[in-house]
Amino acid sequence: MAAKKTVGVIGAGAWGTGFAQALARGGHDVTLWAMEDEVVSSINNEHENKKFLPGLKLDANLKASTDIQEVAAGKEFLVLASPSLYLAPTLKKITSLPNIAEGSANIGVLTKGFVPSADGPKLIVETMESVLPDFYKGSVCYISGPSHAEEVAIGKITGLVAASENPKVSIRFRELMRVPGLMAYSSFDVVGVQICAAAKNIIAVVYGALDAISETSDIFGDNAESLLMAAGLNEIQTLGFAMGATHAETFTSIAGVGDLDVTCKSKYGRNRRFGQEMIKTDLLSNFKDLVPSRRRHRLQIRSPNSPKQKHKAFDLRRPLPHP
């Protein structure tokens, strides 16, 4: 078991809540920040996040607050779990706190995806480093791996990667995650791990669509789904190396093939379900139907265009066809 630490988790969606619950179950002093009053009330009074992680009981020592500065102030560890589009504005709200301004807080992030900008899509850590004090450059920890919140929250075995250019920071987060149910590993390939986390969702949407088609098709089946996953992993690796990934092992580890596999195949996979829904409900026949579906699934439809933009920027050959 890890020594008890104070932790603030910024973002009480399903993944932020599941991760916070795992740390709280392991004995850490954890506080969650949520925007919604009803989420905070549900966690503090009923020990359940009824809005984003319903049906799963949370430890009584896991607390929540709508005051982001209260959640972040004085904490030894801060973990960002806000959606990528809101990551920078959220982080800016706490950068003046002494534990960040003076560098005593260890900062990690769970957010997956790319961040749109005037200069094109940015990586998550790159975006955070542009907001944080300069001494955090190279010292932010990116946490990823095959980790559906539903299983993490109830303590099912889950492997995670703590990726940072600073080996001490990676080890600190690895030790923080030494709690029941979590197995943490270090990595220095921060770019590669981020690319795996961001790009696999696109493959999972297509996988879900193919899975739905396969139910009534004489042409597509398990073999085609395996072909798609292998080609998708190859494409992720190609993009990763073009953007600065450093280790081939990243793509064959839990950060790469592990996360891709669970995202494509798990019953919890939102992107997989979205792909299935596109086929089963003929969703694309009326483009405006994408908006309510996006809201139900909390998907950011703009995100898949980011890897496409990167492919064009690097003039990469892509094994999967794109429009």
Which residues on neighbouring strands pair with residue 9, listed in sequence order? 32, 79
Q: Residues 277, 283, 288, CA angle at the centre, nearest 5°?
A: 130
Cα 99 from Cα 120, distance rounded (Å): 31
φ, ψ for residue 177 (rounded to 5)? -85, 10
List strand residue ranges (DSSP E) for the chain, in order.
Answer: 6-10, 29-33, 63-65, 77-80, 106-109, 141-144, 158-163, 182-187
**Catalytic: 156?**
no
DSSP 221: S
Burial of 171 (0-12, 13-18, 19+ CB in 10 A): middle
Q: Of 50, 200, 265, 308, which residue is the catalytic one?
A: 200
Helix 270-280 and helix 190-214, axial crossing angle in degrees, nearest 10: 30
Whether the CB-CB separation of 77 and 173 falls below 8 Å is answered with yes
Catalytic residues: 200
